[in-house]
Amino acid sequence: MRIAIIDTSQSRAAIISEGLRDAGLDDVVVIEGTGRLVADLEAAAPEVVLINLENPSRDVLEEFFAVSRALARPIAMFVDQSDAESTAAAVDAGVSAYIVDGLARQRIKPVIDLAVRRFQAFARLHAELNEAKSALADRAAIDKAKAILIKRRGLDEPAAYALLRAHAMRSNRRIAEVAEALITSDALMGDMP
């Protein structure tokens, strides 16, 4: 069973195709979502197409499925009523799937379920990465704000931190936000006493 993956994120496409291969589905083609999309798809003649929901080529793709006579059997959307739950899970995860008409659904379901899990894993990885990045940025801002307080108010480091923390609690803001505000005002005020 040949599976085509069309994704605007190459790394996500790689993660999904790896997952499919691990599950023994090794006839996987990754298609770049650019100008040659339709021609590449025609050449690959897949039985299952997985595409990320936010891909800008989805309307073009659906038109191709509607009019294509190049594929032996027309591709219909995987939205069989009996599989509504599976399809909903796929849409929630950000993936839409198309299959050739008449492909047995017990063969499809594992593919969809696996794609959903891989999409979710990718989203989690992304969220964690963003969190780590923003934690790093927060740390840098707090360090810089502390340095400003040490220099201008003659505080030591624990006192500078305590001041930031106390101000954050009083104004119901995050310490990093208070630090950012301090850095901005320091930059604007320059050497003014």
Partner 1 sequence: MSLDRVRIGFLPLVDAALPILAREQGFAEAEGLELELVRDMTWATVRDRLLYGHTDAAHLVAPLAIATALGRGRPAVPMAVPFVLGLNGNAITLALPLAEQVLDDDALGDPTILGERLRIIARRRAASGRRLRFGVVHRYSSHNYMLRYWLAACGIRPDIDVEIITTSPTFAADALAVGEVDGICVGEPWNSVAVDRGVGRIALVTAQVWRRGVEKVLAMRRDTALEVPDTVHRLIRALHAAAAHFVAPGTGEASAAILARPEYLDAPVDPIARAITDRVRLVQAAEPVHIADFMFQYREAANFPWRSQAAWLYSQMTRWDGTPFSPEEAEIAASVFRPDIYRAALAGSGAPLPGASSKLEGAIGGGAIGAGSTQGRLILGRDQFFDHRAFDPDDIPGYLAALP
Identified binder of partner 1 from the candidate list 96, 108, 119, 142, rule CB under 8 A: 96
Nearer to partner 1, 26 or 63 (CB): 63
**Spatial separation of the C-alpha atoms in residues 41 and 36, rounded to whole Å:** 8
Binding flag, residue 91, partner 1 (CB under 8 A): yes
Beta-bridge mates of residue 5: 30, 50
Number of residues engaging partner 1 in binding (CB under 8 A): 23
Question: Angle at Cα 150 formed by Cα 146 and Cα 153, nearest 5°?
Answer: 120
What stretches of 101-157 adopt beta strand conformation (E)? none
**Spatial separation of the C-alpha atoms in residues 8 and 141, rounded to whole Å:** 33
For residue 104, CA distances in Å to 5, 109, 138 come to: 20, 9, 52
- DSSP-H helix ranges across the chain: 10-22, 37-44, 58-67, 84-93, 105-153, 157-170, 175-189
Stretch that binds partner 1, among 18-26, 55-63, 116-124, 185-193 (CB under 8 A): 55-63
Binding flag, residue 81, partner 1 (CB under 8 A): yes
Helix (H, G, I), strand (E, B), or coil: what is residue 102? coil
Identified binder of partner 1 from the candidate list 1, 71, 79, 114, rule CB under 8 A: 79
Task: Let me know: does 133 contact 140? Beta carbons within 8 Å.
Answer: no
State the nearest-atom distance from the C-beta of 49 to partner 1, in Å.
Answer: 13
Stretch that binds partner 1, among 11-19, 80-88, 104-112, 118-126 (CB under 8 A): 80-88
Binding flag, residue 143, partner 1 (CB under 8 A): no
Binding flag, residue 86, partner 1 (CB under 8 A): no
Stretch that binds partner 1, among 53-61, 127-135, 145-153, 157-165 (CB under 8 A): 53-61
For residue 118, CA distances in Å to 27, 51, 95, 162 come to: 17, 13, 10, 43
Binding flag, residue 113, partner 1 (CB under 8 A): no
Binding flag, residue 18, partner 1 (CB under 8 A): no
Binding flag, residue 159, partner 1 (CB under 8 A): no
- Chain residues binding partner 1 by CB under 8 A are 53-63, 65-66, 76-77, 79-81, 87-88, 91-92, 96
